Structures are given as C-alpha cells and as structure tokens.
Amino acid sequence: MSLPTLAPGSYLLLSYEYVPDILERRDPFRPAHLEHARAAKESGELLNVGAVGAPPTGALFVFADVDPGRLDRFAEADPYVRAGLVTARQVQPWTVVG
C-alpha cells in the first residue's frame, strides 16, 4: 500500500494539548471544531489534521507555508480553544526533505 506523502518543502505545524477530560467535554463543540478545520482545509492552507493519542491528548495540524500569524488566528477562532479545551498550543516550522 502506498501512503500519501508531502512534497519536500516548508510547512508549519500547529500542535494542541487538550484538557485531560476532553472526551467528556468536547461534544457540544466538536461539530463546529471539525467545520473550522474543514474550512481551512478547503482553502488549501491546512493540509492535514488529526488527534494525537488514544484517548486523545492533543491534535496536530499541518499547514502549508503560511504566515505564522495565520495559525494564531486559526487557533483563536477554533471552538475548542474558545471553550478552554486546549491547554497549550505551539507553532513550529517543519521541513520535509523527501
């Protein structure tokens, strides 16, 4: 099976850390959170996203090489962030070499 790969280049990673009881608290905010991510993906700036851990302890978003300030604005508008379900977040560059 062939896995999809990203082209070599520069990307930005946005990582979230969730509250310990995310599974119990996320339901009222989940549809809007997923729609927020879908909209960014449809615009072409968000390439992929997914939860980290089982049960989830956070999430990882892979963005095209956009202004880091855009990621801050994305996070500030995220329903999970607004609801206090994200305890920490970080933006880091990621260079894919092949």
CATH of the domain at 53: 3.30.70.1060
**C-alpha neighbours within 13 Å on the C-beta side of residue 26:** 21
Low-confidence ranges of the chain (pLDDT < 50): none
Domain that holds residue 84: 9-96
Q: What are the tens digits of pLDDT across the range 3-20?
A: 567 777 789 999 999 999
Q: Is residue 60 part of a domain?
A: yes
In a domain, 2, yes or no: no
Q: Has residue 57 been placed in a domain? A: yes
Using alpha carbons, select from 97, 69, 85 the residue that is nearest to residue 27: 85
Domain membership flag for residue 3: no
> Are the CB atoms for 11 and 63 separated by under 8 Å?
yes
Q: Does some domain include residue 36?
A: yes
Domain contains 1 = no
pTM value is: 0.90
